[in-house]
Amino acid sequence: MKRCNRIRNVLLCVLALLVGAVAACSGNGGSDNKAPTLLEGPKAVILNDELSQPWGLAFLPDGRMLVTEKAGRMVILSTDGRAIEQQVSGVPPVRSSGQGGLLDIVLDPDFVTEPWVYWSYAELGSEGLAGTAVARGRLVGSSLQGVKVIYRQQPKVSGSGHFGSRLVFRSDKTLFVTLGDRQKGIPAQDLATTLGKVIRINRDGSLPVDNPVIDGARPEIWSYGHRNPQGAAVRPGTDELWLVEHGPQGGDELNQIIPGGNFGWPLVSYGCNYGDPIGDACRIGGGTHAPQFVEPISYWVPTSVAPAGMIFYTGKGFPQWQGNVLFGSLAGKALWRVELSGTREVAREPLLGELRERIRDVEQGPDGWLYVLTDSGKLIQLRN
């Protein structure tokens, strides 16, 4: 019997070593390929599978949910998420093509007394050109009233890619808007345009007086040198904007946004140009951003995960994740969790890979659980 126990103990030790090795290799690259903290995975419950390419999600004060769909429809879901109760009227036409369409949605910080809803979308211009725009309207029942476009990306250009776009309110009730480079590259460095930029505006579209002063820049520009930022959030307890953005072949980034900062695109990236053999030798501009550009907090190599909607988790449902970054992954078909110590990544792990779903957005519900939208049309609740 003692001999059997010894054999069993040896086998358990070998198994533990194997599990540790798998964990150490489970990252998708990045600055140090850090091993994630091993946690029990959340339980995924499909609440709704009747949505059509949902993109953004916002919780109404009564617990119902506003959801945008890429083709241009905005709907209200029941408090349990299982039923589409109403379609919202008053949404202006969108240019739904490629990566463009009806995009993000947020509620006014004073929604209870001033029920403004804000959304971003691909807006068609003259001669087939398009650009990201932001509009707002008062939600009365299931109707948007007093709809007005409060911001338009400058200029509109050809193509159907890299619109961004996430909307995030600061504590001072100003609005951040992330804007993609529209697959044009070098305009992300051109301060006379808002391609490849983060901008900050007031709720009515006017400009705050305390935006960073950047020589030669449009006054709404908060940061520049971005490629396609499709996830953004303000870190709790601060007014720091953080975002995730797409690299080319590899080089997806998690960034802490420095006001006035230049994040390097398309002059530098840890990713490689399309068509180049993937590896360290092909990193654009050598990869390392500093000192000329702002270095990312973390990055993903050698392949892209295509990051999407992002939050900092503050709920009680998963207390072990307090303060962690969570973001959807399109190419990676996962929900990524990134653990931070200050401004340093200490662990990361992909979750929900078994679902094999392109996760477009993640939001924290008023109940403390997580809610994710998938490109296949699902609303999924994550709980213990």
Of the listed ranges 21-25, 212-216, 274-278, 356-360, the one predicted with least confidence:
21-25
29-383 carries CATH number 2.60.120.460: no
Give the pLDDT of residue 42.
87
Residue 176 contacts residue 198 (beta carbons within 8 Å): yes
Quickly list DSSP for 53-115. SEEEEEE-TTS-EEEEETTS-EEEE-TTS-SEEEEPB-PPP---STT-SEEEEEE-TTTTTS-
Domain spans, the chain: 29-383
pLDDT of 1 > 50? The answer is no
Distance CA 30, CA 311 (A): 20
Give the pLDDT of residue 12.
40
Maximum CA extent, the chain: 83
Q: How many CB atoms lie within 10 A of CB 165?
A: 26
Tell me: the pLDDT tens digits for 170-198? 999 999 999 999 999 999 999 999 999 99
Q: How confident is the model at residue 40 (pLDDT cuts 50, 70, 90)?
A: low
Distance CA 139, CA 137 (A): 6
**Percentage above 70 pLDDT, the chain:** 89
Selected residue with higher pLDDT from 371 and 26: 371
Q: Give the pLDDT mean for 351-366.
A: 97
Q: Is 316 helix (H, G, I), strand (E, B) or coil?
A: coil
Q: Give the pLDDT mean for 233-237.
A: 97
Of the listed ranges 17-26, 88-97, 267-276, the one predicted with least confidence:
17-26
Mean pLDDT score of the chain = 91
Give the pLDDT of residue 11.
40
pLDDT of 238 > 90? The answer is yes
Q: How confident is the model at residue 34 (pLDDT cuts 50, 70, 90)?
A: very low
Selected residue with higher pLDDT from 363 and 7: 363
Give the pLDDT of residue 233.
98
Distance CA 253, CA 300 (A): 7
Amino acid found at 234? V
226 is catalytic: no
Helices (H) and strands (E) in the chain, counts: 1, 24
Give the pLDDT of residue 185.
97
Selected residue with higher pLDDT from 7 and 301: 301
Q: Which of 162, 226, 246, 289 is catalytic?
A: 162
Selected residue with higher pLDDT from 278 and 25: 278
pLDDT of 20 > 90? The answer is no
Tell me: the pLDDT tens digits for 81-136? 999 999 999 999 999 999 999 999 999 999 999 999 999 999 999 999 999 999 99
